Chain A
Amino acid sequence: MTREEIADGLAAVGYIADRDLATALLLMDMLRRPLLIEGEAGVGKTEVAKALSDLHGTNLIRLQCYEGLDQSAALYEWNYQRQLLAIKAREGADAEAIEAAIFSERFLLARPLLAAIRQDVAPVLLIDEVDRADEEFEAFLLELLSDFQVSIPELGTIVAKTIPRVVLTSNGTRELSDALRRRCLYHHLDYPSQDREVKIILTRVPGIAAALGRQVAGLIAALRREELAKVPGVAETLDWARALLGLGVADVGDDPVAVYETLACVLKTQEDRARIGRDVTDRLIAQVA
């Protein structure tokens, strides 16, 4: 695949990628490295993985990280209840046979990381918000991402059937270790340019007129230049476009009241709401209408 094919393919599944991102995705396949995507909340980091799995027609396996995430929630766990039942059911049988039976694959609960390396077709593994997990987990992840094998004491080593495409996202709540950063390709995702945002709106909101899409993108770009506590992301843009479309607004200049009332889609703190009053809204509308 060339870079253009990747960009076109992503566009076909509804993700408008910039050229640099397409290059990074191309390198992911070429160098077999995971891709670390950083950027503000709401710029579409998670969407990249979803679009990538659509593009390759494979499964998306998602691991949401949180503080205290451990191996049993991320990698594998034995199904203890079933094991107990099995022990009761075979009471009196040969102990060795029971042990062999209960520590077999049937009793293994594969969590996302193990599931990802046991697929027949290489899936996309999304490790979301990796900065929320603890440092110890990060070290463990690093080991898995370089070897793609897991050793389970009772069962032996499981080697990856296929190497998944790994996408990691980070919001920067904690600094990631240098080792993990070095292992990964890096892409910094910014808010989309106005042109790209227009394309995103037109792709993701069916039935919207190009003129309204352009106006919404213009308003969002203007809002992002205001000093907001919570800068609206792409999801907010799409919500807003859908809201305006649903209210039958064809031109924001004709219906400033509707624009003002639907600002709830974009401004998510009371502080921002107070900052963008009626007068500011009218000024912004005048810029784009």
Chain B
Amino acid sequence: MIKGSIHPISEFLRESINIFRDLGFDVYEGPEVETEWYNFDALNVPSDHPARDMQDTFWLKDGRVLRTHTSNGQVRYAETRKPPIKAVFPGTVFRNEATDAKHETTFTQLEGLYIDKDVKVGHLIWTLETFFKKIYGDDTKIRLKPSFFPFVEPGFEVDVKHNGKWLELLGAGMVHPNVIKNMKLDPDKYNGFAFGLGIDRLAILKYGIEDVRLFRSGDLRFLKQF
């Protein structure tokens, strides 16, 4: 019998999810076709705000969108649960742009969310450090740079030191009080952190893949290597 294979993105997701599961994170998959509310407004991205331009969105003719991030799972998941809330949201996300070796319309994200009392920036750092040490080795370091994503405050760009070089690998931050409110929780009582990992980018770095489009090429010469 010929040998079958698992897609490298699935493989990398499994490895990542296992690490978070060991820390007690649940796994939740939201829908890919999403309402404007869960993809944008609930995450503190109102329609008249320039932050909407940060992502090129596929709008559907019925007014819904193809989710631009798996952050759409944040409010969907948390609004029916009580803290402590710990979950990761794996899934496919979409950007409406022309494709080339570095740009894709379709890629895979793993979003993480932790809501509790007294969550601190230090908790986020520890969690991400733990993750990247397991993925890239014990000497991996991370650093935070201030940045802006409307659903977090403070917001960070997270750099990871991999093979001696700082790489900008993900966005993260402390969940914005408005988002906590939309989860039907009291922002004076609860806070938390969130982060969004781009799985394609991480897998590209791990395996040294030269063209992001290979992931969705269906080319067996590529797929059978994994």
Q: Do these two chains really belong together in a complex?
A: no
